[in-house]
Amino acid sequence: MSRLFTRSLTPLFVFFFLSHAWSQGCSDAGFCTMGAMKPDQPYSKKIALKLRSMEINFYRGTTTLTPIVYVATADLNFSLNTKTSFQVKLPYQAVKGRLATTQGLGDISLCLTRNIFTSEKYDINFSVGGKLPTNNSNKHDNEGNPLPMYYQTSLGTYDFITGISFISRKWLFATGVQIPFNRNGNQFLWSNWNPDSSPDELAYVHEYSPAKELRRGTDVMLRIERSFRFSRLNFTAGLLPIYRIYHDEFTDATGQRVRPDGGMGLALSATGTAGYSFNVRSGIKLLVAHKIVNREYRGDGLTREFVTTFGYYYRF
């Protein structure tokens, strides 16, 4: 009777969480969902967790302007031995906004994670990896105008990523760094837009930050997360500060490299997840968050107003 009662309440719990959830997810350049830095990591010494898994998740994010971003991701994890695993993330992204509709394969994430310490009370894991661009971030609209980064399906840079996490039954603490190695090929400047466009369209174009040959600054993140786990249901709540410790740079209309004001500093989100396990092998999860603090310059197009990610995982 109690099992039937729990099953009947599960949809209500998920609906309640979604309806009252925070309104923006992780809009960083990718490392907050990789390896030791990802949210909602299970911890159990009683059940031997399967070290290989496949997760398919679907993401919808509205931005601070008109673009809406949709991403379907295959997140694959393979165990190399009992302490080491390898993660591959393959996203397909589509963006629909006032200026254009774009789609294509997103940046590929690769990450090696190693358990470097384990005890009855906590684990410490270390990750190293990177992101590979699938294009040079230079998609145009139908009239040949270069599009802002909001509409690009790739960040256009090779990035190095590393991080470490502390996981116990109730807490997750993780920190990591992401370092871009190169400029991308984006050509968006206000002056590069068709001057014959309507005044309304030109005014709207000026709401996007210029990003020609953008080179993002280095990001450092910290994840603080408290988990609440039951037999089948689990929830987490936490904070995700990401600090850009070096200036973004782009090339202006005169050919000079510019470091815009507001390109450094803190972006802070409150995060939350909800999950339901069908059995020890499979389950579903929901990830949401709310952006509390954002940087002023947003040439990379990563700012989100509302994000929901829903996923299904299978361990084997």
- In the predicted model, what is the mean pLDDT of residues 146-162? 96
**Segment 154-174 mean pLDDT:** 96
- Please say whether the beta carbons of 148 and 102 come within 8 A: no
User: Does the residue 118 lie in any domain?
Assistant: yes
Which residues lie across from 72 on neighbouring strands? 58, 92
* pLDDT of residue 9 exceeding 60: no
Model pLDDT for residues 243-257, shown as the tens digit of each residue = 999 999 999 999 999
Q: Is residue 96 a part of any domain in this protein?
A: yes
Domain count, the chain: 1
Q: Rounded to whole angstroms, how far apart are CA atoms 273 and 265?
A: 26
> Could you tell me the pLDDT band of residue 2, with boundaries at 50, 70 and 90?
very low
pTM of the full structure? 0.88
CA 129 – CA 217 distance, rounded (Å): 18
Identify the pLDDT of residue 27. 47
What three-state secondary structure class fits 14?
A: helix
> Does residue 32 lie in a domain region?
no
> Would 30 be classed as within a structural domain?
no
What does the pLDDT read at residue 100? Answer: 96
The whole-angstrom separation of Cα 252 and Cα 226 is 44
Residue 19: is its pLDDT beyond 50?
no
Asked, for residue 304, whether it belongs to a domain, the answer is yes
Residue 3 placed within a domain: no
48 in any annotated domain: no
Cα separation of 107 and 117, whole Å? 31
Asked if residue 27 is part of any domain, the answer here is no
Mean predicted confidence (pLDDT) in 199-222: 95
Mean pLDDT check: name the lowest of 23-27, 43-47, 181-185, 231-235: 23-27
Give the residue numbers spanning the domain of 220. 53-315
CATH code, domain with 72: 2.40.160.40
Sequence-separated (6 or more) residues with CB below 8 Å from residue 283: 275, 276, 277, 312, 313
Look at residue 295 in the predicted model and tell me its pLDDT.
Answer: 85
Burial class (CB in 10 A: 0-12, 13-18, 19+), 286: buried
pLDDT in tens, 46-80: 555 556 899 999 998 888 899 999 999 999 999 99
Establish how many alpha carbons lie within 13 A of residue 86's alpha carbon, considering only the half-sphere containing its beta carbon: 4
